Structure 1
Amino acid sequence: MKNTTSAGLRQPATLTVGLLWHSISSDNLGVGALTESQIAICEKAAQRAGVSVNYILFGTSGGSSYAPAGVRIEQGPRVSIKRMLTGNSDYLREVERCDLVLDIGEGDSFADIYGTKRYLFLLASKLGVLAKNKPLVLSPQTIGPFDKPLQRWAASAVMRKAECVFARDEMSSAYLEKLGVRGNVREVIDVAFRLPFTKPVREAGGKTKIGINVSGLLFAGGYTGNNQFGLTIDYAEYMRSLLRTWTALPDTEVHLIAHVIPDNMPEEDDRVAITQLLKEFPSAFKAPEFRSPAEAKSFISGMDFMTGARMHACIAAFSSGVPVVPLAYSRKFNGLMATLGYTWLADGKAMTTAEAVAITLKGFEQREELAAQVARGNARAAARLDDYEDFLVDLFNQVQPAARRSAVAAQSLQQA
């Protein structure tokens, strides 16, 4: 669709899209994967709608930098609840510039299981968008849980006012139904299935490559150090058992892969746990430190089998066709894999350590069967993300008239 400027020239409309709780510098490559993938989907939707898009990012930042080439992105200000309450909010001023806001909640942060402070930031940022009368879309993510009644009520009220709430798995959809959030809910899948990658060239007859994404957070016992996530397994022993078995196999390479690499949070840093394990298992290989989520996915796509406890490391494997057995520590894993019709999962909150080790080793032995399930799951994911892209095309078309009026008004002011 084209628009006409006051000078009579026909030009594509330019939309400003706010990307809330996204990041192109996060040391958590999972958050980065969501952002890169979201932008890739938006760019395709914009092309179909005949518009161009400028992006403003709101969210956490880190020490990395992986902005997609050729995309116009501004880093917005941090969300400050205090400044919002005092009426002097840079965040709200930037939201005012947006034609719509896509809020991905860092994938799974719109919940109260990570603490009240984090919940309030997620909630307040959404309230700010609604206060500015901007279309708010909760992009595909895990919703909840909200265990505290007041927090559950407030979250439900906000979601009812959203343009649309996209659940990325069937468990989140069922939870939204339980909350009474209906009518504006759609179920799709994680956007990271659209993360671009380049599959490395493999030499014929090479060794079997096993990738293990080691979670520094689980290895440390969570942020609290005392089994914060209520695992029924001993995660460190689970890792050691796999390594004892796989490093003893002939013609096999075991690669330890970090997916979260914050220099200032050792309890979260996968590299800390990997360093410890390499001292015990020196024949294993340390994967490179990746400069971007796409680079991480490209490396993972070269594995013959993968296991891990970082969900987006597992999605990187799955979406690039690699047989994978995720180690679940929250319902986001269970819901996503069930939605894909994928049955291979080690449940760290229901199994014993021995059971989790056994199912992971069995998955490696039966990786051809897993690969067939992965292929079927990827077909399902592709269709679901087509639905999400179609929604964005329609939304971009809906907001074009308002964007065009704003552009004409701004041009008139400049000419005056």
Structure 2
Amino acid sequence: MPPGPRARPRWIPGGGARDRWHAPATSLPMGRGRGDGEAQTGRTAISRRRPGRLDGTGRHRSRTLGPCAPAACDRGPAPCSAPDPAEHRHRSPCSARCGPRALRPRPPSRPGMRAFVLACSQLRAVGLRTLGSAPGAHVTRVRTGVFERCPISCPRRDRTGESMRVLVLWTNSSNPNIGVRTLAEGTRALAERAWPGCDVRFHGTGGPGTGGNDGPMPLTIPRSILKEAVLGRKGLKPWLRGFDLIIDTRAGDSFTDIYTLKTLVRMSAAPLYAMRLGVPVVMGPQTIGPFSKRRSQIIASRTLRGSSLVLTRDEGSIDTVRDLARREPVLTTDVAFALPRPARSEVHDVLLNVSGLLWEPNPHIDHQAYRRSVREIVEGLLSRGRTITLFDHVLGTGNLDNDSYASAALNEELPEPLEIVRPESVTEVRATTASARLVIGARMHASLNALSVGTPCIPMAYSRKFAPLFDPLGWRRTVDLRTADNHARAVLEHVDADLEADVRNVLDTAEAAVEDAVQALRRIA
């Protein structure tokens, strides 16, 4: 057949937002652009109109594509009729946009550092922008430097009749810090109130099996997560995709850069990767911010924007979320109030928690001033005829942050040593605080555990996270160790006040805040 004018493609109506055009087998040659008009038999080329792209004649310029997507795409055109469709590279799988553009083929090479670096660059350039673009879309594998992705959006596993599977990050029930254990048990209780019978797993710092961690690998090394995302040897992706929801706790107050930018990056890598896999991530009730560095603000903004739900426990965190993510979080309270309350008793009079963190040199307050304040509080309580029991809230060995060291050091300075209680679990801690008439604590969760079981407490704050958490509940008995002139006198003034009536109002307010969090979780699942 002699060369002739190019035939106009005929329009084929079909589903989807874009028009699809088919040309006869003798009209358009295969290739990236326009051909010389010669006939080619046995091949079918597909062209799609692109609005806004005009050629010299004022017509919409057509774009010739390679073989279409696999037959699994029910909206696309027929498969390519070429003898070997694999030899033709897609410029786009099909007009229904069922997958992204494939990359240029790379020559096969022995797996090694060169292939790994190439795959990482492709993941950075393509994968991190597109992994979360559609629910279920995910990277299938990277092999010999070729970045491949599923052309069809893969649906998540059907869980009809099955219980919810929830992963809680950055806390577990075996941490030596009782406050972190309380965070784990409280988050579990919150999830079980939202979805009764759900399967809750934990992954804190450390590797698999450390402190009850679930999972195939540690999640605190961003480089290892990137390597696993590329190579997929340890099964991190299917493990994360096996959960219906991930609750990111950040250990309660670590979503900030005051503990260094490195810590923020290490704890942000896993949630961001889970978001790219299409797994819903919820920022659990926590203190958010401050972020003083530009890099920290970028990481926080991406995390907050990609989260399915953001739960905060103070007004300051709400302002931070609004500034960085332009979204409205849900104000709730600490998860300690979601735990069941033990019965009250009066076995102990005053429980005094001496913080090992503040007893030694620290970046928060003057440790010498703190030691003087503790000694003055003990003298003031004894002069009032009160009975004091030292209450250790952070346990462990070989760490000066341990409250046991501070309690032992205080007893050495007193003429008569005080009794010391060291509860080993969250249940024991709550039972111990419920057996006291008053708790004075420099550990925030020691005060929270006391208040959540109905025992009056006097928090001794060393950071900004104390007052914004207690004030919305109507509990304004916090003594700020950073600003108050005479800390001991301020504490003893609250000791002399009637605190029982205020506790009942706090419990009612906290219960309503917990219910708000439960309803918000149910709406996103």
User: TM-score by structure 1 length?
Assistant: 0.81
Compared with structure 1, are the counterparts of its residues 275 and 162 closer, same or farther at alpha carbon in structure 2 (3 Å cutoff)? same
Partner of 2:496: 365
Aligned partner of 1:256 in structure 2 is: 390
Partner of 2:504: 375
Is 1:36 aligned to 2:190, yes or no? no
Question: After superposition, what is the alpha-carbon deviation per residue over 1:146-184, rounded to whole angstroms, capped at 9, x for unaligned?
Answer: 11122112211220110011111112112222334314x
Is residue 86 of structure 1 aligned with residue 227 of structure 2? yes
**What do the CA deviations read for 1:236-280 (whole angstroms, capped 9, x no partner)?**
111111112223443x220111111131322x1011000001112
1:79-109, Cα deviation, whole Å (9 max, x unpaired): 1222112225655442122111011111001
Give the 5 Å matches for 1:257-272: 257-266=391-400, 268-272=401-405
Determine the C-alpha separation between the residues in 2 that align with 1:378 and 1:233.
Answer: 35
Are positions 1:392 and 2:521 aligned together? yes
Q: Which residue, 329, 342, 347 being the options, matches 1:198?
A: 342
The one of 135, 139, 142 equivalent to 2:284 is 139
Mapping 1:23-172, distance limit 5 Å: 23-47=172-196, 52-60=197-205, 74=214, 77-79=217-219, 80-87=221-228, 88=232, 91-172=236-317
1:302 corresponds in structure 2 to 435
Distance 1:42 1:381, change over 3 A: same
**Relative to 1, partners in 2 of residues 1:15 and 1:381: Cα closer, same or farther, differing over 3 Å?**
same
Q: 2:377 aligns with which of 225, 239, 242?
A: 242
Distance 1:345 1:25 in 2: 29
- Larger CA deviation: 152-161 vs 386-395: 386-395
Whether contact under 8 Å (1:143, 1:172) holds in the other structure is yes
Which amino acid counterpart does residue 59 of structure 1 have in structure 2? G
State the SS of the aligned residue for 2:477.
Answer: coil
**Which residues of 2 match residues 5-16 of structure 1 at below 5 A?**
12-16=161-165
Normalising by structure 2, we get a TM-score of 0.64
Aligned equivalents of 2:215 and 2:344: distance in 1? 32
What is the DSSP-based 3-state SS (H/G/I as helix, E as strand, rest coil) of the residue aligned with 1:234? helix
Between 1:122-131 and 1:139-148, the stretch displaced more is: 122-131
Structure 1 residues 200-219: aligned runs within 5 Å: 201-202=345-346, 209-219=349-359
User: Quick one: distance in 2 between partners of 1:263 and 1:213?
Assistant: 18
- For the Cα contact (< 8 Å) 1:23–1:61, is it kept in 2? no
Secondary structure at 1:300 match in 2 = helix
| Corresponding residue SS for 1:271 | helix
Asked if the contact 1:84/1:92 (under 8 Å) is kept, the reply is no
Moved more, 310-319 or 94-103: 94-103
Q: Distance in 2 between matches of 1:180 and 1:11?
A: 34
Give the stretch that moved more between structures: 256-265 or 84-93: 84-93
Deviation at 1:304, TM superposition (A): 1.1
- Judged with a 3 Å threshold, the aligned counterparts in structure 2 of structure 1 residues 278 and 394 are, in CA distance, closer, same or farther, namely same
More deviation, 157-166/278-287: 278-287
Residue ranges of structure 1 left out of the alignment (5+ in a row): 1-9, 68-72, 223-227, 397-416
C-alpha distance after superposition, 1:12-33 (max 9, x if no partner) = 3222211111211000111110
Stretch deviating more after TM superposition (280-289 or 310-319): 280-289
Shift, 1:201, TM fit: 3.9
- Give the share of equivalent positions with the same residue, in percent: 29
Deviations 1:339-378 (Å, cap 9, x if unpaired)?
A: 11222111111112x2x21111011111x2x222222122
Counterpart mapping for 1:327-342 below 5 A: 327-342=460-475
Structure 1: distance between partners of 2:216 and 2:301: 27
Q: Which amino acid aligns with 1:166?
A: L
Letter matched to residue 118 of structure 1: T
Question: Structure 1 residue 394: deviation in Å?
Answer: 3.0
Q: 1:28 to 1:61 in 2, by over 3 A?
A: farther
Highest relative contact order (Cα 8 Å, sep 6+), 1 or 2?
A: 1
Whether the 8 Å CA contact 2:475–2:502 is kept in 1: the answer is yes
CA 1:26 to 1:92, structure 2 compared with 1: closer, same or farther past 3 Å?
A: farther
Higher mean C-alpha deviation, range 12-21 or range 102-111: 12-21
CA distance in 2, matches of 1:44, 1:282: 49
Displacement of 1:56 in angstroms is 2.4
Question: Amino acid of the residue matched to residue 318 of structure 1?
Answer: L
Give the letter aligned to residue 501 of structure 2: A
Q: What's the CA shift string for 1:12-71, capped at 9, x where partnerless?
A: 322221111121100011111011111112222222xxxx32222111369xx998xxxx
- The one-letter code sitting in structure 1 at the alignment partner of 2:318 is S
Summarize the Cα distance change of 1:74–1:120 in structure 2 as closer, same or farther, 3 Å threshold. closer
Structure 2 CA distance for aligned equivalents of residues 375 and 61 of structure 1: 40
Counting only pairs closer than 5 Å after superposition, residues 272-351 of structure 1 correspond to structure 2 as: 272-281=405-414, 283=416, 285-351=418-484
RMSD over aligned Cα, in angstroms?
2.5
Alignment partners' CA distance in 2, 1:189 and 1:283? 40
User: 1 CA distance for matches of 2:182 and 2:429?
Assistant: 9
C-alpha distance in 2, partners of 1:180/1:116?
A: 19
- Shift of residue 234, structure 1, vs aligned partner: 1.3
Q: Letter of the 1:94 partner, please give it.
A: W
Aligned-partner SS, 1:297: helix
Tell me, in whole angstroms, the C-alpha distance in 2 between the residues paired with 1:315 and 1:81. 33
The separation in 2 between residues aligned to 1:311 and 1:76, in whole angstroms, is 33
Tell me how far apart the structure 1 counterparts of residues 501 and 432 of structure 2 sit (CA, whole Å): 21
Aligned residue in 2 for 1:410: none
CA pair 130-66 structure 1, distance change in 2 beyond 3 A: closer
In structure 1, distance between residues paired with 2:215 and 2:422: 24
CA contact (8 A) 1:170 1:338 kept: no
AA in 2 matched with 1:304? R
Task: Give the conservation status (yes or no) of the 8 Å contact 2:438–2:456.
Answer: yes
Partners in 1 of 2:199 and 2:215 — Cα distance? 11
Q: Which has the higher helix share?
A: 1
Larger Rg: 2
Paired letter, 2:492: L
> In the TM superposition, what is the alpha-carbon distance from 1:142 to its structure 2 partner?
0.2
Amino acid at match of 2:243: C
Which amino acid counterpart does residue 249 of structure 2 have in structure 1? I
Query: Which secondary structure state, in structure 2, belongs to the residue aligned with residue 13 of structure 1?
Result: coil
